[in-house]
Amino acid sequence: MKKTLLAFLIAGAAGLGLSLSAVSCNNSSECIEVVIPRPAAIEKCAGTFQIPTPLAVSFDTPQEVAASLEAYLKTTSLPATETAPDAALRFVIASEEGLPASEEGYELSVLPEGAVIKARGEAGLFYGLQTLLQLRSRFGDRIPAQRIVDAPRFEYRGMHLDESRHFFGKEFVKKQLRMMASLKLNRLHWHLTDGAGWRIQIDRYPELTEIAAWRPVEPWLEWLDAGRPYCRREDPNAYGGFYTKEEIREVVAYADSLHITVIPEIEMPGHSEEVLAVYPELSCAGKPHVYDDLCIGNDKTFEFLENVLTEVMELFPSEYIHIGGDEATKKGWATCAKCHARMQREGLKDLDELQSYAVHRVEEFLNAHGRKLLGWDEILQGGLAPNAAVMSWHGMSGGREAAASGHPVVMTPGSYCYLDKYQGNPSTEPKALEGSLPLPKVYMCEPAPEDMTGRENVLGVQANLWTEYVPTAEHAEYMLYPRMFALAEVAWTAPERKDYDDFHRRALLRIETARAEGYNTFDQAASERAERPEALKQVKHLALGCPVSCGAEWYESYAADGAGSLTDGWFGPWNYGYRWLGFLNKDFEATIDLGAVKAIREVKADFLQWHSALIGLPKSVEIAVSEDGEHFTVLGEEQNDLPFDDPKLQCRAFGWEGSAQARYVRCRAAFHGNAGGWIFIDEIVVN
């Protein structure tokens, strides 16, 4: 067995003022790297640390830090007992040079003589302990000796949970908080209100939890189709639920003990059908659901919001309060006398400015109470409130705009961070949001690209679980894991330490332990075993690695690795979320430069059909060649005979076979003509 030690200096470690070596893991049985998110620096040392039973612990920390760590240790599987000066596990608060500057950073030494966790602050000690716990869950009581120095990339490392569309309850939330802590995630964005149900007790407005929290039809889509009915809590068919104040306090305190801040989201002014169902006077029409939005012309709306937020702030100590702000239809406002009067009085020129007025007004209220406003990127419309932070979900553009103007930003772009999309083969996975987000794609997320103006304003990154198609707690875990593992590494680990293959190896191990801990994870390995066979191995062909120019713009969310993905030798998987280039409503054209005139006998371009995502095979594919790149000869054109509405997920190659001489190979694919539809292509094979 060969042990490979790569002694290279890690940039992340250099940033911590350290130079440790990294350990490569060619042989998983000898590999000591198992932790997710991947630490900044790991040094393998000689021997093993045998965890004794009982395990004595010592604290060279302030008393309250020792008390909270001691309490936490009792909840873990470590056989920790009372403190002793010569303890095998020592916690030390220190400020020596060489320790990461971040309060969340730590140094963990696991040596034959004992384990020591050192940090500048309690959070660092807690995260060092998380690392130790992950090592133990992999190696048992004999942990290979090593020294880890680690600190997070981002201060905001978030997970969002929608409990309006489906309600899971506090034990579920606490279980996910435990997993979050293990992954060193530190913000739970709790989506507590939305059209499908209000989920938080507000004393002043009891109807919110007597009626707006309950619906007579459980499946979300059926409820929507039934005209969004609500019912009383006592109704025998009532589906829903809510958190009492006592339960919220319990969850918030529990999260706090795990170094997680809970950020509540109270949706406004859109996504408010459930509020309008019980307080119709807050709508423009003065009656329950016509549109989703609260009336902004009505002062009673602000009275309601301020009263609700006052009770919310009593429950949640979070600096940020999320006010939603997304997807207001604005339709009722357009014809509402009160909204028009407000616009006139305030000199607002359009409905975007009216929305912005509402956000500004709520921000002033929150600021006056010592809190800050966080909202989805629509709060940029009509002018951003002065102190607001933006959560960017329409791609990164809203985040870029806000960061460039100095506002704090949390990145959660839909194409990388929406865990309600398909993670495996869409034709065999349970119904999900149309769209595709396999594990590697989450891992590819880069929340603060180097070319971004104001990238220092990116607080961090978050993945979101919307639950329209997630009816049960088990299914929620299935959608969360292992993709949250990838998000955690995006949030914590410096880009130069990220490596998908290595992450993938650790993720499969972590899935095993998560399952043993009772989490219902997606079966990543089984999904990969059932993968499209062509996608498993790189194919060698004449155009491999050759430059390609694309004559059409691909869609931002389906960009693969750009035009180069057409000649990288990799076919796409069943899941079109990566390796596939997607083109919306247009023809496709690409020209490959083989570098010199060569004899060719085959050109095959591979396309995807998946009807429910409106991805169709092209109408026809034309192959042409040229020796000079200017004058092309058409070699052939192949017509598609598969109907656009054929529901079977499949891939098909179109092209030409024969004999020709060419330096340039051009492939044109005609759009199938179904408006709103797509063409997806992964590879053009030339032989």
How buried is residue 92: exposed, middle or buried, by Cβ count under 10 Å (0-12/13-18/19+)? middle
In the bound complex, what is the minimum distance in angstroms from residue 390's beta carbon to ligand ACM?
Answer: 12
Size of the site for ligand ACM (CB under 6 A): 4
433 binding ligand ACM? (CB under 6 A): no
Nearer to ligand ACM, 312 or 419 (CB): 419
List 166, 189, 271, 322, catalytic entry: 271
327 binding ligand ACM? (CB under 6 A): yes
Nearer to ligand ACM, 275 or 511 (CB): 275
In the bound complex, what is the minimum distance in angstroms from residue 359's beta carbon to ligand ACM?
Answer: 15
Tokens 């937020």 correspond to: 309
Taking CB atoms, the residue at the shortest distance from ligand ACM is 326
**Mode of pairing for the β-strands spanning 389-392 and 372-376:** parallel
Residue pair 193/164 in contact (Cβ under 8 Å)? The answer is yes
Residues 6+ apart with CB under 8 A from 332: 283, 284, 285, 290, 291, 293, 295, 339
Nearer to ligand ACM, 214 or 393 (CB): 393
Closest CA relative to residue 259, chosen from 163, 161, 412, 156: 156
List 194, 293, 363, 468, catalytic entry: 194
In the bound complex, what is the minimum distance in angstroms from residue 473's beta carbon to ligand ACM?
Answer: 21
Output the CA torsion sign for 433, 439, 441, 444. positive
Site string for ligand ACM, 285-324 (x = CB under 6 A): ----------------------------------------
CA 564, CA 550: separation in Å to the nearest integer?
Answer: 9
Nearer to ligand ACM, 153 or 189 (CB): 189
**Mode of pairing for the β-strands spanning 114-119 and 89-93:** parallel
Joined tokens for residue 383: 């002018």
In the bound complex, what is the minimum distance in angstroms from residue 291's beta carbon to ligand ACM?
Answer: 16
Nearer to ligand ACM, 201 or 381 (CB): 381
Could you write out the DSSP letters of every residue in 455-497?
GGGEEEEEEEE--TT--SHHHHHHHHTTHHHHHHHHHHS-GGG
CA 300, CA 210: separation in Å to the nearest integer?
Answer: 21
List 327, 434, 474, 646, catalytic entry: 327
Please report, as residue ranges, which positions from 600 to 619 form the binding site for ligand ACM (by CB under 6 A): none
Site string for ligand ACM, 457-486 (x = CB under 6 A): ------------------------------
434 binding ligand ACM? (CB under 6 A): no
Nearer to ligand ACM, 30 or 326 (CB): 326
In the bound complex, what is the minimum distance in angstroms from residue 160's beta carbon to ligand ACM?
Answer: 9
User: HEC string of 358-387?
Assistant: HHHHHHHHHHHCCCEEEEEHHHHCCCCCCC
Q: Return the C-alpha torsion angle 389, 393, 395, 398, nearest 10.
A: -30
* 194 is an active site residue: yes
326 binding ligand ACM? (CB under 6 A): yes
CA 685, CA 676: separation in Å to the nearest integer?
Answer: 28
CA 684, CA 570: separation in Å to the nearest integer?
Answer: 10
Closest CA relative to residue 277, chosen from 340, 339, 198, 333: 198
The separation between CA 474 and the C-alpha centre of its own chain, rounded to angstroms, equals 19
393 binding ligand ACM? (CB under 6 A): yes
Nearer to ligand ACM, 272 or 527 (CB): 272
In the bound complex, what is the minimum distance in angstroms from residue 87's beta carbon to ligand ACM?
Answer: 48
Please report, as residue ranges, which positions from 350 to 379 form the binding site for ligand ACM (by CB under 6 A): 376
Please report, as residue ranges, which positions from 407 to 426 form the binding site for ligand ACM (by CB under 6 A): none
103 binding ligand ACM? (CB under 6 A): no
In the bound complex, what is the minimum distance in angstroms from residue 464's beta carbon to ligand ACM?
Answer: 7
Joined tokens for residue 521: 């994870």
Nearer to ligand ACM, 325 or 471 (CB): 325
Q: What is the CA radius of gyration of the chain?
A: 28
In the bound complex, what is the minimum distance in angstroms from residue 557's beta carbon to ligand ACM?
Answer: 14
Query: Contact positions toward ligand ACM, by CB under 6 A?
Result: 326-327, 376, 393
Catalytic residues: 194, 271, 327
